DNA sequence: GATGAATGAGGTTTCATTCAT
DNA sequence: GATGAATGAAACCTCATTCAT
């Protein structure tokens, strides 16, 4: 991402890195405390700068929040899109890959906290919601939809209502992220993510894979594997 | 509803109604603006009283919020428990009943906004989260779990990992509520809840029903069967 | 104090007793919590009436406070005046009597809390201070002064500057009351009132009694100098 | 006092001075109106800053008050301790020095209002009382006690019960401070402090100085009895 | 560019006082 | 006379934002 010839003295690189450091600090604190409870002074302190400096890079708290969303969620969408575009194998395997890629890249990371936070704060920031819809939801849905379309076209999944099935597939993944960051923690009966995802994939493939219906049994009977 | 002999001065009747009026106003505003952004003065104003009056009935903002949860969420759980307890028919039909009862009673009402709100704010109010876990999550999970256990015991569902499947079933319902109150609104391609729920029930039963699959025509028309 | 022929039915006596009951409740709470922290609702509750009733008898919080002062401090002054007026014996004994009467009647009772409270709040209520000066301070000083004058006239005390000596005598008694109600409690090394008063009387008489007169001179006759 | 080379921008010099300016303003207002009735906004205004600025230097109202005590009372204790520690002469002279030092340093200044305030408000702010006991009362009592012990050890004072005598000596000084700030002002017959202190010292030395010892006996040697 | 002192609007909570019943 | 529901002013404290240096 960084041109190797663009060498700068360390202190100047430092300057260029400021926004990144601020975004990283903001990510941590927003996830940890929520939007309202995060104080910009703490963000600045964690990034090692003063409060005033933050305002050199971000107009206000709301813009900082939006930048954190852009920085942490949007790229992951692009990666997933690329993964799907280049995949050649059976769609059941693709589904599994998409789910686990998503988990590794978003679900298991701090970015999941941002997803939760957007859900929580979308009402308070209409244009953030707008941005999020366009840059994240639409693209993610399109991506899942295209995966489903490919599978149906190749005869690997039954013909399904693609928009609805898309939502249905997204639900448990969203749920897992929400859970982690709201009432989930502190609960004794916390879900084991891996078990949950396996059950989810199993049930999804059971419902999606073409005839003959998958014989009951294990969580993920992948025919093409 | 009111015994004709139990005449009270208008003023005293007001008193009895006050908590309800305040709770209704609070429900509206919490759903509309979130917890932190809702000002108690506005709640009072909407209920037609002054700020101070609110404190005659609720100790503080957090207690008001808990009362809203108790008023709007908890009873629905109880009703669903009763519905399950008294049901005699096939578990596939029971699942359908539970889902639609939930939808009519919570999902389609303003109470869904409270569910979303709890998810959003749980981190900031630990004892609210605690309260919600005990009063709502545990009871709802237990309820779904007992429905699954009954189905498996009667040989109507395949044997499944009950805790995990419970979460899996809850996910799309939760999703639908979250959606409505965060990024969902304003979206042109909004999900039609009914279509979504039908697809959800279909996929769930497809994955759950014991072999041989339920004969079509009933609650789960499985094309490939 | 109550004419024996003024018999009333119990409920009516109750009515007449209201102000007394309110004053007693107010005394307790003012002493316990101070002026600002005492809520009129609590005063009413302790007197067994409603908040509104209190306002039938006292114009406002300030007037209630003044009434408490009048009720609890002023009468004690009168009693002490009478005690002095009728005394025939040696002035040293009279001093002792005055001190212990004061202690039994005020110092050891809740009224001492009012004395402390007046000191604390006098600034906030100028006309209360005025009232207290006239009704309590002037009368108490006059009383002590007349006791000193009598003692000097009878040759039992040395001739002294009466106003100054009056203050000097009052100081330790005042101190004892203040102490009880401010930083004194909770202290491990709490003063034993009796020991303190004995030491006080001892030192006072030592300084006041006529024979043998302290060698006159300057204000500070330092023997070793 | 300021090194001429330690030039700072005016703005930064302000910063260093702020706490002192705020403490001075707080001292004035606390003494004038008491703790509860002093609004922090007024303190800030008198110091020429805004409400928020005050919170940059003091965590809350109570800490501000403690700082006022620390600034105005505690140092005086230290000075008196030093004065006693280094004194070589006769204890009678030392007593006089301590009394007048106390008067110049505390009694005659606004700090006396703080002493009165603590007595008045201690009940409502338990940890403030705790702080005052430890930082002021214990140290002051210890100081007076050590003065007495020295005097007795050198044979300059009669052997006395040190804790009790300490209290007895403190009483009139405390009284003088209380008086100034409660019912004392506005009184036509206000005490002249100098006259009062002289009488106090005279009586104290009369009671304390060794020779000739008062004929022992009871606490109240009543000649005529 | 960077700093951090200063600002002041804003929200929760308390409680003396009023007044319809 | 008695009640107690209702009022609303007041005060503390927070923190996003500004700006002089």
Distance from CA of A168 to the nearest CA of B (A): 7
D150 membership: H or E segment, kind and range:
helix D138-153
- Give the end-to-end CA distance of chain A in Å, rounded to a whole number: 35
More confidently predicted of A200 and B220: A200
**Is the Cβ pair C220, D129 closer than 8 Å?**
no
Enumerate the β-bridge partners of residue B157. Answer: B209
Note whether A139 contacts B: Cβ–Cβ < 8 A. Answer: no
Cis preceding-peptide flag for B212 (omega within 30 of 0)? yes
Q: What is the pLDDT of residue A189?
A: 57
Note whether B123 contacts A: Cβ–Cβ < 8 A. Answer: yes
Out of C32-46, C181-195, D99-113, pick the least confident: C181-195
**Per-residue pLDDT tens digits for C106-146:** 999 998 999 988 888 888 888 888 888 888 888 999 999 99
- pLDDT-derived band at D2 (thresholds 50, 70, 90) equals very low
Strand nucleotide closest to residue A50 (CA to C1'):
E3
Partners of residue B202 in chain A, C-beta under 8 Å? 207
| Assigned token pair, A165 | 């099935």
What value does the mean pLDDT take over residues A60-67?
A: 92
What class does CATH assign to C73-208? mainly alpha
Separation of A15 CA and E1 C1' (Å): 9
More confidently predicted of A5 and C62: C62
DSSP 8-state class, residue C213: P
> Ramachandran region of residue D155, left (φ > 0), alpha (ψ -120 to 50) or beta?
left
Angle at B169 between CA B166 and CA B170, to 5 degrees: 85
DSSP 8-state class, residue D215: P
Does D213 have pLDDT greater than 60? no
More confidently predicted of D92 and C220: D92
Enumerate the β-bridge partners of residue A209. Answer: A157
- Helix axis angle, B91-102 to B74-85, nearest 10°: 160
Q: Is the CB of B5 under 7 A from strand E?
A: no
Three-state SS at B19: helix
Residues of chain B (49-88) having a beta carbon less than 7 angstroms from strand E: 51-52, 55, 59-62
Give CA–CA dist D30/D46, Å, rounded: 12
Q: Could you tell me the CA-to-CA distances from D51 to C57, D39, D48 in Å, in that order? A: 40, 10, 10
Does D16 have pLDDT greater than 60? yes
Q: pTM of the entire structure?
A: 0.83
- pLDDT-derived band at D141 (thresholds 50, 70, 90) equals very high
Distance from CA of B20 to the nearest CA of A (A): 26
Give CA–CA dist A10/A16, Å, rounded: 10
**Per-residue pLDDT tens digits for D165-212:** 999 999 899 989 988 888 776 665 567 889 999 999 999 998 888 654
Q: Is the CB of D51 under 7 A from strand E?
A: yes
Q: What is the pLDDT of residue D52?
A: 93
**With a cut of 70, which residues of chain B have pLDDT below it?**
1-15, 185-190, 210-225
Q: What is the pLDDT of residue B132?
A: 87
**Per-residue pLDDT tens digits for D64-89:** 999 999 999 999 998 888 888 889 99
* The dihedral sign for the CA sequence D130, D134, D135, D137: positive
Does C192 have pLDDT greater than 80? yes
C4-67 placed in CATH 1.10.10.60: yes
- pLDDT-derived band at C198 (thresholds 50, 70, 90) equals very high
Cis preceding-peptide flag for C37 (omega within 30 of 0)? no
Give Cβ neighbours of residue D192 (< 8 Å, ≥ 6 apart). Answer: none
Give Cβ neighbours of residue C89 (< 8 Å, ≥ 6 apart). Answer: D224
Enumerate the β-bridge partners of residue D209. Answer: D157
Q: Is the CB of D50 under 7 A from strand F?
A: no
Q: What is the pLDDT of residue C188?
A: 55
Does A1 have pLDDT greater than 80? no
Q: Mind giving me the DSSP string for C82-143?
A: HHHHT--S-HHHHHHHHHHHHIIIIITSTHHHHHHHHHHHGGG-HHHHHHHIIIIIHHHHHH
Give CA–CA dist C139/C85, Å, rounded: 13
The CB-side HSE value for B163 (13 A sphere, CA atoms) comes to 10
Q: Could you tell me the CA-to-CA distances from C48 to C13, C22, C61, C62 in Å, in that order? A: 15, 9, 18, 21
Cβ D175 vs Cβ C170: under 8 Å: yes
> Ramachandran region of residue C48, left (φ > 0), alpha (ψ -120 to 50) or beta?
left
Q: What is the pLDDT of residue C134?
A: 86
Distance from CA of D216 to the nearest CA of C (A): 11
Cβ B222 vs Cβ B202: under 8 Å: yes
| Assigned token pair, A204 | 């999804």
Q: Please tell me the total number of residues recorded for chain C in this structure.
A: 225
Q: What is the pLDDT of residue C83?
A: 79
Give CA–CA dist C68/C66, Å, rounded: 5
Cβ A179 vs Cβ A108: under 8 Å: no
Q: What is the pLDDT of residue C8?
A: 54
Strand nucleotide closest to residue B61 (CA to C1'):
E12
**Per-residue pLDDT tens digits for A88-127:** 999 999 999 999 989 998 999 998 999 988 888 888 888 8
Q: Please tell me the total number of residues recorded for chain B in this structure.
A: 225
- pLDDT-derived band at A8 (thresholds 50, 70, 90) equals low
Q: Best mutation site among C145, C175, C187 for testing chain D: the one with the most D CBs within 10 Å?
A: C175
Phi then psi dihedrals of residue D187, to 5 deg: -80, 135
Q: Best mutation site among C39, C178, C180 for testing chain D: the one with the most D CBs within 10 Å?
A: C178
The CB-side HSE value for A80 (13 A sphere, CA atoms) comes to 28
Q: Which residue is nearest to nucleotide E14 (CA to C1')?
A: B52
Q: Where are the domains of chain A?
A: 4-67, 73-208
Q: How far is CA D51 from the centre of its chain?
A: 29
Those nucleotides of strand E lying less than 7 Å from any protein Cβ are 1-21
Q: What is the pLDDT of residue C92?
A: 93
Distance from CA of D107 to the nearest CA of C (A): 15
**Per-residue pLDDT tens digits for D42-60:** 999 999 999 999 999 999 9
Give CA–CA dist B74/B134, Å, rounded: 10
Phi then psi dihedrals of residue B213, to 5 deg: -55, 150
Angle at A209 between CA A205 and CA A215, to 5 degrees: 80
| Assigned token pair, B162 | 């009950």
């Amino acid at each position: 991402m960084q041109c190797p010839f663009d060498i700068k003295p360390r202190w100047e690189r430092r300057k260029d890195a400021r926004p990144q450091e601020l975004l990283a600090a903001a990510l941590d604190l927003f996830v940890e405390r929520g939007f309202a409870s995060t104080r910009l002074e703490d963000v600045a302190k964690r990034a090692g700068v003063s409060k005033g400096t933050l305002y050199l890079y971000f107009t206000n708290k709301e813009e900082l929040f939006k930048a954190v969303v852009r920085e942490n969620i949007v790229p992951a969408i692009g990666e997933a899109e690329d993964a799907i575009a280049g995949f050649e194998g059976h769609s059941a395997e693709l589904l599994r890959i998409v789910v686990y890629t998503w988990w590794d890249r978003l679900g298991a990371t701090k970015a999941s906290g941002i997803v939760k936070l957007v859900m929580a704060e979308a009402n308070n920031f209409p244009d953030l919601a707008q941005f999020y819809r366009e840059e994240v939801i639409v693209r993610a849905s399109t991506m899942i939809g295209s995966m489903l379309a490919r599978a149906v076209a190749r005869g690997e999944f039954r013909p399904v209502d693609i928009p609805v099935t898309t939502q249905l597939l997204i639900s448990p993944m969203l749920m897992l992220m929400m859970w982690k960051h709201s009432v989930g923690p502190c609960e004794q009966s916390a879900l084991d993510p891996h078990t949950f995802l396996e059950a989810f994939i199993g049930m999804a493939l059971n419902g999606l894979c073409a005839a003959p219906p998958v014989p009951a049994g294990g969580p993920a009977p992948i025919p093409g594997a």
